[in-house]
Chains A and B, each alone.
Chain A
Amino acid sequence: MTLLRVESLSLNIGAERILDEVTFSLEPGETLGLVGESGSGKSMTALSIMRLLPADSTLSGRIALEGEDLLKLRPREMRAHRGRDIGMAFQEPMSALNPLQTIGGQLAEPFEIHRGLSRRSALAEAGRLMERVGLEAGGVDAGRYPHELSGGQRQRAVIAIAMALSPKVLIADEPTTALDAAAQAEIVRLLLSLTQEENCALLFITHDLPLIAGLADRIAVISSGRVVEMGRTGEILSAPSHPYTAKLIDAAVHRPPRPVSNKSGQDLLVASDLVKTYRKGGATRRALDGITLSIREGELVGLVGESGSGKSTLARALLALETLDAGGITLGGAPFKVGHDRETRALRRRIQIVFQDPYGSFDPRLRVWRTVSEPMHLLDPGPNAATRRRAARDILARVGLDADDCDKYPHEFSGGQRQRIAIARALITRPDIVIFDEAVSSLDVSTRAQVLDLLAELSRSMGLAYLFISHDVGVVRAIAERILVMKDGKIVDEGPADSLFETSSHPYTRALLAATPSLAAALAARGERMADLVG
C-alpha cells in the first residue's frame, strides 16, 4: 500500500499561486528526491504535508497518509501525526534549533509530547538517540547548546529530533545545503542508514541533482509549483522526457569552454608567506598561516577550501583590505599594501572582486550605474558623472544586461542578473585580475552555467586572470586551469585542474573529491548496479 499520496495539491498564499496540482506518492521505505530550483515550491510542498503553512494560505487537493486524508484532520489530530508518523528536518540547522535550550532537552521533547514520558526518562531516551546519530561519538553531551556544536553536529541533532519516534516518513528539506562537502557526505550517510534501519520512507528535498542522483530511488522534478516529471532515478537522468529536466542535467555537468592559457605570461599577483591571526576571547586563530601563491597574467586559478579554511580572509588580504601580521603581496611587481596613497590606488584599479551574496553586495539605495561605476573613483583624474554613466551602460551591455537597466535599483533584478551587475562593477576599471569569492555558490544550476560561460568568454576576450575561490570542487574544476587546495589557513596541495584530483596523493584532496557528488559518477555506479541485476 502506498504510504503517502499527494494528489492534485494546490496552494495559494495570499493571492499568489505557489503549488499547482502537485501529485506524487511515496512507498514504504523508499527514498524520493524532490528536485527543484529556488522558488519552485519544493519547501512549500513539505510544509503543506506537515500543515505548517503561513496563516494566509489555502490548500486544496488530498494528502493521504496510509489512506487517511491529512487535510481533513482537526488541528489536534494533525498534531498527533507530526513528529510521530511524519518527521521533518529543516535546512539551516542553526536556526532550526532553539538557541537557549540544551540539545538533550530538545531531543527529549518528542518523547514527552507523544509518549507522555517524564522529563527524566525522556532525557534518557534522548541520550540513546544522541548515540544513534553519532553525536555522542563526536563528544557532544546532552548539556551542550546549539552554538557549541559544529554545523554537521547541529544537523545531526535536527535529524535526531525528526527521527526520534521512528516515523514512517522523514521529510528532509535541503538538509546538507549549509554544510561543506565532508559534512554533507556524512549527513547523507546518516540519513540513509537511519531510514533503512527503521524502514522509514525519505522525502529528500534538494536543488542538487548530483547529490540526489546518488541516493534516491525515484525523483520528482518540480518547477514553478508543478511536478513536471517523475520516475526512477536512473531512467530520468539518462533519458529525461521533459525539457526542464534535460536543462537541469545539462547545467549540472556543464563545463564552459576553457580559454587557451598563456603559459608564457609573467607573474601578476604574488603573495609570499601571508600570516593573519585573529584574537577572539583569549583564543587566537590563524586564518592565514604562511600562504604563498602566484598567479600569471591571464591565468585562471581555482582555490578550493571548506568553510573556515581562511578563504575569505585570503581574498580580503589579496585586495590589500586586511592588515597582515607577516608576508607581502606584489601586483605587477609593485608592492601592494593597505592604504589610500596614489600608488596604492593605481594598483587597486588592476585588481577587483566579485562576492558571493548577490543581495548584500550592492548598496540598496544606489541606482545600478552608480554602483557599477564606483571603482572608477580609482581612475586618475576621476571622470565626471556623464562619463561614468556611459561607461556603466557599456559594461552592463558587455555582461549581457540591458544598458537601460542602469537606472534601476538592485532589488529589481534576479540573483543571476545581480551577479552580472557585480561582474560589471569588477570589470569597469579594466583590471588585470578579478577575485571571485564563492561568486556562483548561491545561484541555481542553470543560472550558474550561464554565468560560468560569461566568465570564460570575458577572460578570453579581455585577457583577464581569475582567482576563483569556492568550497565547491565541481565549480572550480569547471572554470580553472590550475587549482590550489586550502585547509586551516595553508595551501596544502596544488596542481592542474584536469589531473589534480585524480593523481594527487594528498589525503585531503582525495577526501574532498570523494565527498563531492558527481552526476557522471552516480550514473556510472547505477549503470553497474543495473548491469549486475541484468547479468
Chain B
Amino acid sequence: MNRARAIGVYAGQRFVSLVLTLFAASVVIFILLQIAPGDPATYMMGLSASSEAVQALRDELGLSAAPVDRYAKWIGGLMRGDFGVSYTYRAPVAGLIAERLSVSAPLAAFALAMSVLLGLPLGFVAAAQRGRPLDALVMTVTQIGLAAPNFWFAILLVYLFSVVLGWASAGGFPGWDAGFVPAMRALLLPAFVLALPQAAILARVMRSALIDAEGRNYMLTARAKGLSESEALWRHAFRNALIPALTIIGLQFSFLVAGGVIIENVFYLPGLGRLVFQAITQRDLIVVQGVVFILVLIVVSVNFVIDIGYAIIDPRLRRAP
C-alpha cells in the first residue's frame, strides 16, 4: 500500500540518521573518557604497586595501545555485542549491562506508560473544562509537579510508606526470579515517582495543544457539520494535538532515563544507574563507556520510534517515494 511504503521510506531515512548519531555519540563518549583523570590500572593496583606491575596490568587491560586503535577495538566489539571486560569485576561488560538492564529498562517503560496514561487524559480534561475549577486544579498540581525534583518526591514517599504507614520497606528489588508480581510491585513506586514530572509536562502540553487546535478553522468546519464542542475536540483536535505531545514525549524521555539513574539510587534498585556510579568512583571507565552508550542507544531508539509515530499521525511527513 502507498501509505505503508511512504512510511517505510521515511523510516529508512530516519534509521540512517540514527546510525550516524550513534556513531558520533560513541566518538564523543570515548574522547571524553580519554581525558578523564586517573589511570584505571594505577587505581586498581593501589598506590604501593610497582610501576612494572601497573604497566603489566595496563597491557593486560589493553590500555597501552594507541587511542585510535583502542577506539577501533571498542567500536568493533560493540557491533558484535562485545562491550569489553570490566576492569574491576573482571567480567564481560555486556553481561553486567544486560543484568542491570533487566531492571532499568522495565522501570523506564513502566514510567513512560504511566506518564502517558496520566498526562494525556489530564490534559484533555483540563482543555475540555477550560477556565473551570477542574482546569485550575490540574494546572496548579502540574505546576508543582514540574517544580519538584523527583528524587525528593522519592525520599518523601519512602518516608511516608515505610515510616508513617508502616508498610514493608519501600526499596530494593527481589529480582525477576521472585516472580513477576513482586518484581513489578518493587518497581511501582519508583516508576510512579519518575512518571510524575513527565505526566505534569505532558498534561500541560496536551492542554495547550488542544486549546490551540480549538482556535483553528477546521474546528469551525467540524462544528458547522453539527458536531458538539467535545465531539469536535475528540475527533479533530485530539489527533492534531498529539503531534506536539509526541514531540514532548520524545524530548522528555531523555530526562526520564536520566531521572531513572538517580531514582535507582533512592530505591536501592540494582539498575544501570547504580552500576555507572560505582564504575565512576572505581575508574572502571570501560563500564562507564558501555553504560552511557547503551543509554544513548535507548534514547535515540525511542526517538526513532517517535519519528515513525509522527509519520503515522501526520500525512504531511510522508513523502511520496
A and B touch in the complex (CB under 8 A): yes
Interface of A is mostly: helix
A10 CB → nearest B CB, Å: 22
**Bound form: Cα–Cα A143–B4 in Å:** 13
Chain A residues 225 to 284 lying within 8 A of chain B, measured CB to CB, are 281
Chain A positions within 8 Å of B315 at CB level = 99-100, 145, 147-148
Q: Cα distance A285–B239 when bound, in Å?
A: 33
Could you tell me if B313 and A52 are in contact, using CB atoms closer than 8 angstroms? Answer: no
Given contacts A79-B228, A82-B223, 5 further A-B contacts (CB under 8 A): A95-B217, A106-B221, A109-B225, A147-B316, A281-B319
* Chain A residues whose C-beta falls within 8 Å of the C-beta of B59 in the assembled complex: none
- Nearest CB on A from B47, distance (A): 63
In the complex with contacts A100-B313, A147-B316, A83-B220 CB distance below 8 A: no
* A-B contact list, 29 entries, CB within 8 Å: A50-B223, A50-B224, A52-B220, A76-B228, A79-B228, A81-B226, A82-B223, A82-B224, A82-B225, A82-B226, A83-B224, A87-B224, A90-B217, A95-B217, A97-B218, A98-B221, A98-B236, A99-B218, A99-B315, A101-B236, A101-B239, A110-B225, A110-B226, A113-B225, A113-B227, A114-B226, A145-B316, A147-B316, A161-B221
Minimum CB–CB distance for A237 against chain B, Å: 31
Q: Which B222-273 residues have C-beta < 8 A from chain A?
A: 222-228, 235-236, 239-240
Residues of chain B contacted by A143 (CB below 8 angstroms): 3
In the complex, which residues of chain A have a beta carbon less than 8 angstroms from the beta carbon of B235? 109
Which B residues are CB-close (under 8 A) to A100? Answer: 239-240, 313-315
Pick from B218, B226, B236, B319: contact of A79, CB below 8 A: B226
Neighbouring B residues of A113 by C-beta, 8 Å: 225-227
Q: Which residues of B contact A (CB under 8 A)?
A: 3, 216-218, 220-228, 235-236, 239-240, 313-316, 319
Asked if A97 contacts B240 (CB within 8 A), the reply is no
Q: Closest B-chain residue to A84, C-beta based?
A: B226
In the assembled complex, A96 has its CB within 8 A of some CB on chain B: yes
Contact-residue bracket for chain A: 35 or more
In order of increasing CB-CB distance, the 4 nearest A-B pairs are A83-B226, A95-B217, A83-B225, A145-B315
Show the binding face of A for B, using Cβ within 8 Å: 47, 50, 52, 75-76, 79-84, 87-88, 90, 92, 95-101, 106, 109-110, 113-114, 143, 145, 147-148, 158, 161-162, 281
Name, among B218, B236, B240, the residue most crowded by chain A CB atoms within 10 Å (CB to CB).
B218
In the bound complex, CA of A319 to CA of B203 (Å)? 49
* Residues from chain B with Cβ under 8 Å of A109 in the complex: 222, 225, 227, 235
Please, which residues of chain B bring their CB within 8 A of the CB of A110?
225-226
Q: Which of B218, B228, B314, B316 touches A95 (beta carbons < 8 Å)?
A: B218
In whole angstroms, how far apart are the Cα atoms of A87 and B224 in the complex? 7
Contact A92 B226 (CB under 8 A): no
B217 contacts A79, C-beta separation under 8 Å:
no
Residue of A nearest to B319 (CB): A281
Cβ distance A275 to chain B, nearest Cβ, rounded Å? 26
Q: Which residue of A lies closest to B216 (CB)?
A: A95
Q: Which of B216, B220, B226, B240 has the most chain A CB atoms closer than 10 A to its own CB? A: B226
Question: Once the chains bind, are A98 and B225 in contact (CB under 8 Å)?
Answer: no
Residues from chain B with a CB closer than 8 A to the CB of A52 are 220, 223-224
